[in-house]
Amino acid sequence: MYPLTLAIFLLLLGSIIWTFMHNKGRTLVLPPGPRSLPIIGNFHTLGSLPHRALENLTKKYGPIMSLRLGHVPTIVVSSSQTAELFLKTHDAAFASRPIFQASKIIGMSKGIAFSEYGPYWRSLKKLVASQLLSASKIESFAPMRKELVGSLVQSLKKAAVAHEVVDLSEKVRKLIEELTRRMVFGRSHYDRFDLKALTEETLNLMGAFNLADYVPYLGALDLQGLTSRIKQNGKTLDVVLENIIQEHEQIPSGPQSCEKDFIDMLLSLMNQPMTAHDENSCKIDRRVIKAIIIDMITATYDTSAISIEWTISELLRHPRIMKHVQDELERVIGMNRMVEETDLANLSYLSMVIKESFRLHPVAPFLIPRESMEDIEINGYYIPKKSRLMINSWAIGRDPYVWSDNVEEFYPERFINSNIDLKGRDFQLIPFGSGRRGCPGLQLGLTTVTYVLAQLLHCFDWVLPNGMLPNDLDMSEKFGLSMPRAKHLLAMPTYRLLG
């Protein structure tokens, strides 16, 4: 009798443990969140500025909040501690990206920013980091940056003499556009194509809330007209890139050319494995080159320009801080010459101003959405596989537990004696993201932003037009994948260097 009882007992115990293990996901609950409606889920709660709407909801539901966008389970993370849990402790589980209809059709799901996590993405990211965005490659474009920023200063000098009001947003955008064009396409004469309009359309389509991505069975109806626009955009982009690549093949850059553009670099690696010394890794072909190029253009196109326009807007609203920046520039560089990139490391106050600007105005308020690759438990909550993860870096920059009670104030001095940097290790400030999917263009982006700002603030005094007072400057945002000012920044320059 005794062995039989023991066997039954062990069988029962085993089945209880098995049931517990296999029902683990079901016994845990989703993070709290607002009630969702049929079909649309919580879309109606997002409004026109979702980063603000969701920060508001966080006050009720906490820093890990669960929503449903259409049919997609979505987790919104809004504090530095919880961001660390998702982007560091459990980074591997959240290292994938959702595949959007636009990224698939346009070809971006084969690039870095919008591809799923796996060996292909890993090889691609390594290739780009080592061949296109290495410190030496960024350095090789320094003369080009100097030439183009110099031309902008000359045109602003003329405007200053004529007492003209300048559309600074437009000027800076054109500068970054030209920097991007020269770096990626170099000598190509692509004036037959409106690459600017094409890139803007790509960014708009990638940033749109497309019903096909959230309520798949409505996708076929194309109620928003997005699918046809995406197809058209994908086709045109492919033709343009094919033309530019062919031009590069017909007139290759000389072996001595010191300013090889990205297409030259990638063509020189054609048919080689993406990861050096790994014959099994995917080969670099035209499709890979096009996907990388689209990534490089879209990632560079507006990020730096948006950071610059927000920083100058804040300085125009805060004359004390503007003066402090200019005093530093005068002390470090003097008034007889222009800023060089080698001076940038000595501009510590400007660096604090840029951090403060990123805190209040992160270019990508939700970073780039991620997708979970497995069922996972975090902080006692159940997060199902294929959940969308939105990190609200805009809300994290305003967390009063981290930034004290003057969160809304533009106050660069908060970074004095602080080790917080922008590299994604300090989760209170993550404008470039963090972890495996963090931004590989951080160094290039930060160099460009700091150099252009230093030059504009060293060469010119700036005032708002028509006697507008600093507090009257409209600081409204336009929400998208990236978040520029809603209205262009207008200001009047006065040249201030000697000679």
Provide the binding-site residues for ligand HEM, judged by CB under 6 A: 112-113, 125, 133, 295-296, 299-300, 303-304, 307, 363-364, 367-368, 431-434, 437-441, 444-445, 449
Mapped onto helix, strand or coil, the DSSP state of residue 436 is helix
Residue 176 or 211: the one with the smaller Cβ distance to ligand HEM is: 176
User: CB of residue 137 vs ligand HEM: minimum separation in angstroms?
Assistant: 10
User: CB of residue 119 vs ligand HEM: minimum separation in angstroms?
Assistant: 14
User: CB of residue 309 vs ligand HEM: minimum separation in angstroms?
Assistant: 12
Query: Which tokens go with 219?
Result: 């996708």
Residue 309 or 399: the one with the smaller Cβ distance to ligand HEM is: 309
The residue with tokens 């799901």 is: 109
Closest among 465, 359, 370, 373 to 403, alpha carbons compared: 359
How is residue 89 annotated by DSSP?
A: I
Going by the annotation, the residues of the binding site for heme are 439
How is residue 116 annotated by DSSP?
A: P
Residue 36 or 300: the one with the smaller Cβ distance to ligand HEM is: 300
Contact between 431 and 80 (Cβ < 8 Å): no
Residue 495 backbone dihedrals phi, psi, to 5 degrees: -70, 140
Closest among 444, 462, 193, 433 to 319, alpha carbons compared: 462
CA distance 391 to 385: 17
Contact between 99 and 116 (Cβ < 8 Å): yes
Residue 326 or 447: the one with the smaller Cβ distance to ligand HEM is: 447
Residue 388 or 437: the one with the smaller Cβ distance to ligand HEM is: 437
Residue 391 or 492: the one with the smaller Cβ distance to ligand HEM is: 391
Query: Which tokens go with 226?
Result: 């997005």
Contact between 453 and 127 (Cβ < 8 Å): no
Residue 107 or 431: the one with the smaller Cβ distance to ligand HEM is: 431
User: CB of residue 437 vs ligand HEM: minimum separation in angstroms?
Assistant: 4
Residue 75 or 367: the one with the smaller Cβ distance to ligand HEM is: 367
Which residues lie below 8 Å from residue 80, measured CB to CB, with a gap of 6+? 396, 399, 402, 426, 427, 428
How is residue 472 annotated by DSSP?
A: G
Going by the annotation, the residues of the binding site are 439
User: CB of residue 261 vs ligand HEM: minimum separation in angstroms?
Assistant: 12
CA distance 444 to 307: 13
Residue 315 backbone dihedrals phi, psi, to 5 degrees: -70, -35
Residue 91 or 222: the one with the smaller Cβ distance to ligand HEM is: 91
Closest among 298, 288, 280 to 110, alpha carbons compared: 288
User: CB of residue 301 vs ligand HEM: minimum separation in angstroms?
Assistant: 9
Q: How many CB atoms neighbour CB 223 within 10 A?
A: 12
User: CB of residue 436 vs ligand HEM: minimum separation in angstroms?
Assistant: 7
CA distance 422 to 432: 7
Residue 464 or 483: the one with the smaller Cβ distance to ligand HEM is: 483
Residue 64 backbone dihedrals phi, psi, to 5 degrees: -120, 110
User: CB of residue 34 vs ligand HEM: minimum separation in angstroms?
Assistant: 25
Contact between 364 and 483 (Cβ < 8 Å): yes
Query: Which tokens go with 385?
Result: 């596989």
CA distance 187 to 441: 22
Query: Which tokens go with 220?
Result: 């076929």
The residues that bridge with 74 in the sheet, in sequence order, are 67, 388
User: CB of residue 113 vs ligand HEM: minimum separation in angstroms?
Assistant: 4
Tell me, what amino acid is at 3?
P
User: CB of residue 108 vs ligand HEM: minimum separation in angstroms?
Assistant: 10
Three-class secondary structure assignment of 32-65: CCCCCECCCECHHHCCCCHHHHHHHHHHHHCCEE
User: CB of residue 145 vs ligand HEM: minimum separation in angstroms?
Assistant: 12
Residue 181 or 437: the one with the smaller Cβ distance to ligand HEM is: 437
Query: Which tokens go with 88?
Result: 């560091």
